[in-house]
Amino acid sequence: MKINIVLIIGFIFCFSICAAQEQILYKQIDTTKLYMQVYSPKFLDTSKIYPSMVFFFGGGWSSGDKTQFINHAMYFSQRGMICFLVDYRTKNKNNTTPFESLKDAKTAIRFIRKNAAKYRVDTSKIIASGGSSGGQLAAASALIDAYSEKNDDKSISCIPNALVLFNPVIDNGPGGYGYEKIGEAYRFFSPLHNIKKGAPPTIIFLGTIDKHIPVETAEYYKKVMEKVSSRCELRLYDGQGHGFFNHKNFEYFKKTIIETDKFLISLGYLKEEPINTIE
């Protein structure tokens, strides 16, 4: 598979005119209002539906901001996708636990499915993505049955059709990331401990010196996924640590964007055509 990629440095202006933006309220808990930022292709054909990507920021369920994946959203909206940058409750902002974060992630995906016609979303091609704890939320939305908001419409699926995970904290058990926050509930929260048949096709990006996710953990995750006949690709990057994929590390931002693009083409979510810019 060949993709002709022309890399242009300093694309902020180009991307800003290629994607239309909209901020929407998707959830309110008491006085807490949660929003998602929507990025759509500039020339949206209202007679068509589009694949979508839902991004969850990292920060250990304690901090972070939905703008972490703004460059990813601008890139993939240019490629013909509807992209959503999702806010969710965190400890520092809302004095909440990782369980509330997961509830919000599931609500967000259900909201997108419920409003698919409004946002021109193809509900058979929803990709959940995220970095670190945001990657955990993306994976958990697909694999974890527990932790849905009581007011959610459970008849609407929160399970994405594919996963794009950037150094995700997929093991929350003893010895894994976040166990001190989750405790014995890891059995019902940790993606690694809840892989099951029918798990969505997944790609994982990881640096080989990540201080939170050992390479062995990602390799074992891939092995278990394949054991239940689910596709799981693992891309390892020598000498890279946690958060290596972020836009500020432009070289690896580009590399992981390109691999994500190829993965989505292989699923039939994107067309194989030249990519004009990477911002």
Domain map (residue ranges) of the chain: 12-267
CA distance 103 to 111: 12
pTM here is 0.93
Residue 181's closest CA among 39, 62, 54?
62
Provide the H-helix boundaries in 42-194.
Answer: 70-78, 91-94, 98-114, 116-119, 133-143, 179-182
What pLDDT, on the 0 to 100 scale, is given for residue 42? 87
Q: Order of strands across the sheet with 19-29?
A: 19-29, 32-41, 82-86, 50-56, 121-131, 162-166, 202-207, 232-237
What pLDDT, on the 0 to 100 scale, is given for residue 91? 98
- Tens digit of each residue's pLDDT (9 = 90 or more) over 4-35: 443 333 343 344 444 557 899 999 999 999 99
Q: Could you write out the three-class secondary structure of 28-73? A: EECCEEEEEEEEEECCCCCCCCEEEEEEECCCCCCCCCHHHHHHHH
What pLDDT, on the 0 to 100 scale, is given for residue 22? 85
12-267, what's its fold? Rossmann fold (3.40.50)
Q: Per residue of the chain (279 residues), what is the pLDDT tens digit?
A: 444 443 333 343 344 444 557 899 999 999 999 999 999 998 889 999 999 999 999 999 999 999 999 999 999 999 999 999 999 999 999 999 999 999 999 999 999 999 999 999 999 999 999 999 999 999 999 999 999 999 999 999 999 999 999 999 999 999 999 999 999 999 999 999 999 999 999 999 999 999 999 999 999 999 999 999 999 999 999 999 999 999 999 999 999 999 999 999 999 999 986 455 565
- Tens digit of each residue's pLDDT (9 = 90 or more) over 102-117: 999 999 999 999 999 9
- Judge residue 172's burial from the number of C-beta atoms within 10 Å of its C-beta, 0-12 exposed, 13-18 middle, 19 or more buried: buried
CA distance 244 to 279: 16
What pLDDT, on the 0 to 100 scale, is given for residue 21? 78
180: phi > 0 → left, psi -120 to 50 → alpha, else beta; which? Answer: alpha
**Is there a contact between 193 and 184 (Cβ–Cβ < 8 Å)?**
no
